[in-house]
Every structure is written in C-alpha cells, then in structure tokens.
Structure 1
Amino acid sequence: MTQGSVRTDILDIARSQVVEGGVGLDEQQVLTVLRLPDERLEELLAVAHEARLAWCGPEVEVEGIISLKTGGCPEDCHFCSQSGLFESPVRAARLDIPSLVEAAKQTAKSGATEFCIVAAVRGPDARLLAQVAAGIEAIRNEVEIDIACSLGMLTQEQVDQLVSMGVHRYNHNLETSRSYFPNVVTTHTWEERWETLAMVRDAGMEVCCGGILGMGETLEQRAEFTADLARLEPDEVPLNFLNPRPGTPFGDLDVLPASDALRAVAAFRLALPRTILRFAGGREITLGDLGAQQGILGGINAVIVGNYLTTLGRPAEQDLDLLDSLRMPIKALNSTI
C-alpha cells in the first residue's frame, strides 16, 4: 500500500472505526469480515478481542437458565424440539416452585449473577404469569441474583406485569435475519417478535435478543442479522449455534464449521462493540474446548453455564476454570431487586 493511499483492508478499518472509535461495522462491512479466509481468522479474533476490551472491559457475565415449562409449544420453530408439532423426544413438563428456587440457588453458587426463567410458549397465559410471579418472589426470599425471563411474545399488559415483578431483562430472540425468518418459523412473524422487543425496551427492561447460526442462512443473511440487531440496540445478544435435534425439520442439517462460527463471533462483536455477547447453545458441539477459549478471546464477554433447555452444556466448573486460566474476572452482581 503506497503512502497516502486509502486504507481499505477490513481489519484496518475495524481497528480504526470500532476499536478506536466505538462505531460498529455496517452490514456490508460485516459481510466482508464473514468472507475473510481462514488464514486471517486469528488476526480477526484479535481485533474483535481488542474491541471487546475497549468497550466492554475484561469482565465476563455468567448466567444460568431453567425451563419452567418444557415442551408442548404450539409454534413450529424448525430448530426446536420443544414444539408440539414435531415428533421429538421432548415431552411437555412443568417445574414446581421449590425446584425453581433450588435451581436459582445452584446457579448462584456457580458464580452466576443472572438467572433466566424460560417457558416454551407462544406467549404467557394468566396461569403461567402467576407461576412466574410466585417463583420470583420465592427466589428473592432465598437468593440474591438478578432475574430475567423468556416467555415468548407479550402484550403491553404482560410487559407491565413483568416490570412490576422486578424482571430486569427479557429475552426474546429474533433467531435470524428478517429475510430468512419465514424459512425458520411459519406460525408467527419476525415482525411480531420485533413488536415484543420494542415494548420491552420502551418499558425500561433490558433487552436480550440473539439467535441461532447455522440454520441454512447465507453469509449475506448473517450480515443482515447483525444490522437488524444493531438497529434494535439490545443490551445482550446470545449467540447460539444449531445443534440439530432429532425429529425437527432442521434435524439433518450439518453442524456449522468451527471457523465459520468463530468468524461470526468476531463479526457480531465488531458490529455491536458495546453489547453483552453471550456464548449460548450449541457451542460445545460446534467449537469444543479450544473453540470456546478462542471465542472468549475473540469477542465473547458472557456465558451460559451448565445445561441448556433441551441439550447438555459443559459443567459450570469447566467454564469457570477456563475464565480463571484466561484471567477474565466474573462480573459482580449488580442487582436491581
């Protein structure tokens, strides 16, 4: 490159625009990142790690999740074994309040500061919301931990109820880009999910919104998804990688290659420099132990420890030992209760 020429290398642009300026990459720039060859992956992860340290710091937020209602969901999300429309091994079940409290206790003991109550539903009915309220009250009587919820699509009245319960963060994933969503779900729309997220944000709850990579989307649609999220400005983005579930329409898809997954981690960080970027489901099968370390040194600054909703994760101790070996401090509780 001659003196005075324009710097066009995408990683040079990322260092200047994101690391130094705190301005996320746009959709076209993200696409360029996603197209980088494997031989530049290490350099890409290093730039993403710089951006994470510059705008989020070294702390890692640890979270545990529990399913209050598992299976029997009426929606047809093609990746999900909890849908009642597919012949999957998962059967409908509900968790009682004492079990919910015990799960919160164990989550807190692992060092986690966040406990998320999840239900496999299109949206919560009055009975489920009453159970959530009772569960939150019981947890707070015994455990000091921030409480989040993921209960599907909401009405304004339900949003207000969750705020009154003291839920500080609400998870509702867009799952994929707007253009690819009809290939993933047909029983509701991307726009319906967006409406719930807008109400949550306007009500003052933190917004947690991410998705699943490796569901057959193109690189262009993956870049489109980062632009969708940048427009939403979520507080947290959980990154899942498809773990194909038997009996679902996506059950026969191939697992996303580790190099593609790591490129995506870095791309999402460079698009969303100030956002909590959380390792979620599928990282074990997609990345393994080495990939998990590379991801934490390539833009990730939060993890879910323990098991997921219908798939096994890593033992919490393994993740905590990894963070300790990398000298990444666990974020202290910043309670809103």
Structure 2
Amino acid sequence: MHINPCIFILARPPHQVIWNYEQHTQYKLDVTHALRLAQLINDPSQFDDANAIDIKFANVDILITGPERHIDWKWDELSKIFHIGTKNIPCEDAPQDVNEWAALYLQHCNEVLASPAPAAARPCPMDRITLGHPSLVELQDLSLARTLISRSTSRSFDGRSVSIDQVSTLLYLTLGYLKERSISCEALRARRSSPSGGGMNACEGYLYVRSVTGLEAGIYAYHPGEHALSLIRPLPDEPLGHLLCGQHFINSLPFGLFITSRFDRLWWKYEHSRAYRMAFVETGHVSQSFLMVATALGLDTWLTGALSDRQVEHLLDLEGSPEQPLFFVGCGHGDGQVHCRELMALAERQDRQP
C-alpha cells in the first residue's frame, strides 16, 4: 500500500484534519487514528488488512494500492495543491438540459440572495472627490486593432504628470459602473466594461497618486457607484519600489492602481474553492481594460503581480480583511523602453566583455 500523494494534514485541535485535495474530501482524525497514520507514513509496508483503522484509510483512499502518476510538477507543492484542488468541481446533480440548468441556477441565486450578504464596500465619505463624467468622444474613433498593437510594457517613466481627466476616464472605463450599459434587472444593474464571475464585481481599486494634475498626492479608494475618490492616507515616504518587491525603476511612475478582490463577495455566491481561480481571472480582465484605455489615451503602461503583500495591505487598510490586493497597474509618460536604463546599461557592458 502507498500513502495517497494528494493529501495534506491540518492541525485543528483537538483533531487532525486530513484533506484529499484531488477528491475534495476531508476527514477528522482522533489521536488513535492520527498515530496510526503517522506509523503508516513512516512505513506503508506496516499496512495490516486485519487492522480496522488501516481498512478505513484504504476505503477512503488515504491509502492506495499503487503510486498514482501525476503531472511532472515543476513548481512547489502549494501551487500543485491549488491547481489540482480546484479542478473537477463536485457536481453530483449536473443539469441535463438548458431548462433544468435555468431552474437550478435560479434556485441557487434565490438561495444566495436569501442568505446574509457580505458587508458593503468601503463607505464613500461625504468629503469625497467626485470625478467628472468622462467624455468618451475622443476614444470613439480609435482603432481597436491599433490599440492592441500599440500596448506594450514600459519600465522607463520620466515623472511627467497625468491629468485628473485622464484618471477619471481610466477609472470609469476600468472599474466604473457604466451608465451606458443599462439593464432592466435591478440586481445586475452595476455593469463594468470587464466580465465578472457571477456578476459579483469582486474587484476594487486603490489609487497610488504621485503626480496627477488637479489631485493631491496620496493613496485613494475608488468608489465606482459614485465615480468618486476618498483619501485613505498621504503618500508614504518610502518609494513605490518598496511596495513592489524592490522594482525601483518604477519610482517615478506618476499614477498607479492597486487591484484588489473581495473574496467574501465570491464565496457568498460560490462556496467551492474553484471560485478562487475566478478572483485572479477577473483581476486579469480589469487590468487589461486599464492597460487598453491608458494606451488609447497615449500613455505608457506597466503592470506587476509582485507585491510586498503585508506592506500593501497596511497601506490600503486591508489587514485581516477578506479583501486582498492581487495586482498593480500603472501608466504615465516616458520613452516607451521595455527595460529600464540601468538594466540596459548592464546588458551592454556584459555584451562588450570578451
């Protein structure tokens, strides 16, 4: 017999919880069962088909008859647990036709709406900064193909300011609730330019403002319902690179957006861990919208998922919150170089070496 490679153990006093992340099953072990499992992990050949505990382990696939073959995983165990553990959603009563799907989905939505909703988003204070509704006329004649081709990642910004009108347009078309997209269903009336898992609009945005004309430097929350900003705190003394894992080439960036996900909104409707994937998918949609709009406005763009998480959570007042930062996008003016000058200089010196 072999120990199933797709299990991990959690300490949840007074029990150990053993979790088969491939089959989505969990079992509590008391001390007797936990001690016996420890013996079998140390030496699986001790399996005894006359031992009732061993038989239980075999019946629930904690013990298996042969080593299972899986992907030759090059990343760490945590990423493997995440990927395999969110595959193959248990679906015992899969609908057999569209009418059955519609009935089951409506029933699910009604059950969700009958349960306590997650807390409202960060409240929009009375002293908020209301942004003007952007004029989209100048963007209407732009070619989508040309914008796609023009978008590139830049790591060389010169610190010139962006305007508050550009920021307003960026926020409205990235995270705003679009007035142009009317819909009759009240529950689904808040519509963004990007798709959202279950229509939950789980992403929120926080501005890093260093140099925006018409706006004081600082950290701001964006309120999509009001298309407004509220100041969270002044700009920290430490450079932006400290918040982004040492990427100091970006310190002169005039404006950026931390994109967060409200996990509580997602698990309110989707209790399975598969929904965690959707948090990142939605963040990707939102970031692409930001990058495309910024490119259309003639700005250079940059993006990263390398966040100094604890520092960013503190900066945004999200410590211990089910809302978590996942990504950062920024834009400004520069020479459009993919690499910063310092890296290019090092590469040139390396190339000149014999």
> Which TM class, normalised by the smaller chain length?
under 0.3
Structure richer in strand, relative to its length = 2
Bigger Cα Rg: 2
Q: Relative to total residues, which structure has the larger helix share, 1 or 2?
A: 1
TM-score normalised to structure 1 length: 0.22
Q: TM-score, normalised by structure 2?
A: 0.21
